[in-house]
Copies of this chain bind each other. A is one copy, B any other.
Amino acid sequence: MIKIGELSKVTGCSVQTIRHYEKEHLIASAERSEGNFRLYDEAAVEQLLFIKHCRSLDLSVPEIRQLLALNRSPGAQCDDVNRMMDRHIEQVEARIQELTRLNEQLRMLRRSCSNRRTVEQCGILRNLSATPVSSG
């Protein structure tokens, strides 16, 4: 059994994050030592790594909760898992498109000003004052 600092080192999650996950019921309440310190076993390490992996894929806490629940009911069909992944992938792709459009607009704006002008003549500020381009 290891204490929270050790779990933090092993998993790369900060101590506060681990306590936060416990409060959010992503991980079960840990056993406590006599002095009220949290104690973790190997299973806790695995589960925390699972969560960390999910977070690295930008899955939200509620999504992870759902995955963990499914993981605990082995008889269930995994259509739910697939649907969640599909929805998540859609979201990520939508965000990429959004940022790509944004990037084009920013680059266009940036080209409207070269250095060594006063802000009176600054094309960036002038363009920002104009009505925004419709996002279509």
Candidate in A107, A122, A125 with the most chain B CB atoms within 10 angstroms: A122
Query: Contacting chain B: which of A13-21, A29-37, A52-60?
Result: A52-60
Say whether, besides A77-B118, A99-B95, A57 and B105 are in contact (CB < 8 Å). yes
Closest B residue, CB atoms, query A96: B99
Interface size class of A (residues with CB under 8 A): 35 or more
A-B contacts, 30 listed (Cβ < 8 Å): A53-B128, A53-B129, A56-B132, A56-B135, A57-B105, A67-B125, A67-B128, A71-B119, A71-B125, A73-B119, A74-B118, A74-B120, A75-B119, A76-B119, A77-B115, A77-B117, A77-B119, A78-B119, A78-B121, A78-B124, A82-B110, A82-B113, A82-B114, A85-B109, A85-B110, A85-B124, A92-B102, A92-B106, A96-B100, A99-B99
Spell out A's residues near B (CB within 8 Å).
46, 49-50, 52-54, 56-58, 67, 70-71, 73-79, 81-82, 85-86, 88-89, 92-93, 95-96, 99-100, 102-103, 105-107, 109-110, 113-122, 124-125, 128-132, 135
